Amino acid sequence: MSTPEAEALPPATPAGKMIQTLVGIAMLSGFLVVLTYQLTKPIIAENQRRAIEAAVFTVIPDAVVRSDFVINDKGLTPVTGEESVEGVLIYAGYNRDGELKGIAAKAAAQGYADLIHLLYGYDPGCECIRGMKVLKLAETPGLGDKIITDANFVANFEALDARLNTDGSALANEIVTVKAGSKQNPWEIDAISGATISSKAVGKAINQSAKQLLPAIRPHLEKLKQPPVLPDQQEVADD
């Protein structure tokens, strides 16, 4: 059955017109996206560099200069720029005189809601962890996110023992999270009561990363201790 309205419908749009419109819009869209990407790329890269730098200098006290290395089975490679090397990225932090103050590395472990990503700083001088900063978490606000704000918990990472055993192949003591208030040894982390799972995740992340990374770093410590040349000069030039 056909109604008068149905007969009065305008003729169907030719397919060519539709394709023309879609192609036109897609090209315009591509142009705008590429333009924005090109304009914002250097600013975003600079933001990311600054964010990493700020985090590295938080976990390595006294550090003012950083240089990046990649560590893998073959050894230690400085990160120069474009070429990417497979391996674990570590950040070495130096003070104004070019002394190695610590090495920062990323770690992650499953928390209550999602992976907790963090950065920790290892000081080869005291063979201990001198700082920890949470980079990304999805923990419950007010409970799990206390791992960032709780002063007592953060104090665990001022001098957390991470000595290696005598032959340097593993940690002398595994880093563990213990029940709130029961910390007895320097390699233990006092949990936050009410945020045990998140606290344990932090301990687990650091332990897993440290027991692999620290024995691997050890043979290269001398190389890491060489003062960084280029960034140091820049630092002086900035003054």
Partner 1 sequence: MIKEKPTITWETFTEGLWRENPVFVMLLGMCPVLAVTNSAINALAMGLATTFVLLASGTLISLLRHNIPKQVRIATYIVIIATFVTIVDYTIQAISLDLYNALGAFIQLIVVNCMILGRAEAYASRNRPLKAIVNGIGMGIGFTFALLCLGVVREILGAGTLFGLDLFGPRFEPWVVMLLPPGGFLVLGAWLLLFEWMKQRKERAELEAAAETR
Residues that bind partner 1 (CB under 8 A): 13, 17-18, 21-22, 25-26, 28-29, 32-33, 36-37, 40, 43-44, 47-48, 51, 136, 140-143
Least separation in angstroms between residue 88's CB and partner 1 is 23
The stretches of 66-220 forming alpha helices (DSSP H) are 146-149, 151-155, 196-217
Least separation in angstroms between residue 118's CB and partner 1 is 14
Least separation in angstroms between residue 135's CB and partner 1 is 9
Cα gap 95→63, rounded to integer Å: 5
Nearer to partner 1, 14 or 81 (CB): 14
Nearer to partner 1, 198 or 207 (CB): 198
Nearer to partner 1, 44 or 229 (CB): 44
- Give the sign of the dihedral formed by CA 110, CA 114, CA 115, CA 121: negative
Element (H, E) at 123: strand 115-123
Cα gap 151→153, rounded to integer Å: 5
The stretches of the chain forming alpha helices (DSSP H) are 4-7, 15-59, 146-149, 151-155, 196-217, 221-225, 230-238
Nearer to partner 1, 142 or 168 (CB): 142
Least separation in angstroms between residue 4's CB and partner 1 is 16
